[in-house]
Structure 1
Amino acid sequence: MNGIQTRTIAIVTGASSGLGAAFLEAIVARYRNLDEIWIVARRERRLRALAGKYGNSHTRIRTIPLDLTGPDAYGTLTGMLEDERPNIRVLINNAGYEREGVLRDMSPADIRAMIDLNVTAMTMVSRVCLPYMGRGSFAVITGSVSPFAPIPWQAVYAASKAYVRFLSRALHEEERERGVNVLLFSPGNMDTEMNVRGAVSGKLARLPYLDLRREAVRTLARAERGCATYTPLAFYRLYRIFAKLAPSALAVRVTSLKSGGAAAPPRNGAVTAASTAQA
């Protein structure tokens, strides 16, 4: 860091609810030597509530209300990092967005939102933050079990997470020699705003749900040890093996969500960077 004394920080995107909030809670409890935790999402009120809940005398929580799909988001984040030149000890690259349906019927805005947030935002947050990470630092990138096989009626989301999967594995190798670990976290069903337990039907309703707090802690522990990937629960690990071995013509019939999926939550304006849904 050019010989300048730097602050050690963690950054969590998609932090205002769900998995992002679970990661924040785990980081506060686990890393008491951090100077600051930067929490990033669009909903400022939610961020301030979390800062009030988890901030303490050991670690300051900085709220960064930022829409990661906005054209100026990366310039804003880049400027903050250039001004302070912190040591990013932990990066949780978690913001994501999900919608289901037949592609021909989907809203163009929803399609663009999934690509903008799941692909572009994830990539650019990595690009902006990695130069400030050094030996012993790690990044967790939230993927999904969805890209293990193509998923009809969830085609765009699964495809966007396939991009996440391949990029994360490549980054793990690129950063390994620098001593920076990049872990791909591939969760299954989670009880989040975009996938509320009891508000889903069909196949998704029958899949096991993860314990967000427990998996956030387990993911951090694996990232510390240098693991490249983590898929929770034996059920989803077996699904990964099935998807790898099964002919694609069989896999897409098994994975199809034609029989029903997540109920669409109420729309309240533009897609936010806090709309995390790793189904």
Structure 2
Amino acid sequence: MNIAIVTGASSGLGAVFLEAIVARYRNLDEIWIIARREQRLRAFADRYGNSRMRIRVIPLDLTEMEAHKELADLLANERPDIRVLINNAGYERKGLLRDMKPADIRLMIALDVTAATMINRICLPYMQRGSFEIITGSVSSFAPIPWQAVYAASKAYVRFLSRAVREEERERGVNVMLFSPGNMNTEMNVRGSSTGKLARLPYLNMRRETEKALAKAERGAATYTPMLFYKLYRVFAKLMPSALAVHITSLESGETSRRSQSSGRYAPGSRYAD
């Protein structure tokens, strides 16, 4: 049985990847969609499922270790051939680290680091020559980012993970590609809701970029960073020492500074893609 798996499939980039996969890969038997919100997943299953291709709803909270075991057991029972893996679930919360709730910090690490790693461990044994994985990273991984310290660090981990796993799987003919998008109009980053530097960054066309990402992963690309602006930022981050880069990458704005000075706190924004 040939399948695709999409994590973080209930909204945003994951939902757009699902739409692109349905249109692009008509020889799949099933697409497994994974996220916490079962009702949203079932709505997608009703929209895209048909007699030729089944959309299997798998409601899991990937921050929980039990969810990893449940997915591993399901794969062990079904033993499918995973042709496409979109390792996409993620969580972001920006603001001063000292003001963040410990639960939010743990959640970022649990989803962006632990879950991303465990999805690889669980799924790679079921991928064969010609299969590929797209791991959703971020341009935030290119340099340390004050006011986004944990998220940027988690995506830097993902960047190194993807590079290493790609090399491990190369001889088997399984491609692992890191997709590093910038601003996108998702639940995690609604256009017009950002302030400061984030609000001035260009937004990507998600449908166009997911199609490009799939095409590049098929051809064996190692990384894909969309848009010239973000490609240039990647070059800047490579050339500029991190001690200098943090002064430019900092998300602190005038509004943030005033809040910090007047109240001693900055209310961070939350972004959760599952």
Task: Please tell me the TM-score bracket, short chain as reference.
Answer: over 0.9
Residue 67 of structure 2 corresponds to 73
Structure 2 residue 108 is matched with structure 1 residue 108: no
User: CA offsets, 1:193-243, max 9 Å, x none?
Assistant: 111101111100000001111111100000000000000000000000001
Amino acid at match of 1:174: E
Provide the TM-score with structure 1 as the length reference: 0.92
Q: Which runs of 5+ in 1 are unaligned?
A: 1-6, 266-270
Residue 136 of structure 2 corresponds to 142
- Report if the CA contact (8 A) 1:201-1:263 is conserved: no
Residue 193 of structure 1 corresponds to 187
Alpha-carbon distance in 1 for matches of 2:60, 2:33: 10
User: CA offsets, 1:244-270, max 9 Å, x none?
Assistant: 1012222101000011699735xxxxx
- Report if the CA contact (8 A) 1:200-1:263 is conserved: no
Equivalenced residue count is 263
Alpha-carbon distance in 2 for matches of 1:149, 1:32: 39
Alpha-carbon distance in 2 for matches of 1:84, 1:71: 20
Structure 2 residue 148 is matched with structure 1 residue 154: yes
Alpha-carbon distance in 1 for matches of 2:181, 2:188: 14
Higher-strand-fraction structure:
2
Residue 232 of structure 2 corresponds to 238
2:269 to 258, 264, 267: 264
- Report if the CA contact (8 A) 2:100-2:268 is conserved: no
Alpha-carbon distance in 2 for matches of 1:108, 1:192: 25
Residue 223 of structure 1 corresponds to 217
Residue 130 of structure 1 corresponds to 124
Between the aligned residues of both structures, percent identity stands at 74
Q: Secondary structure at the match of 1:38?
A: strand
Amino acid at match of 1:125: I
After the TM superposition, which segments of 4 or more aligned residues of structure 1 sit over 2 Å from their partners?
Answer: 260-265
Provide the TM-score with structure 2 as the length reference: 0.93
Amino acid at match of 1:70: E
- Report if the CA contact (8 A) 1:188-1:209 is conserved: yes
The 5 Å alignment of 1:4-43 reads 7-43=1-37
**RMSD of aligned C-alpha atoms?**
1.5
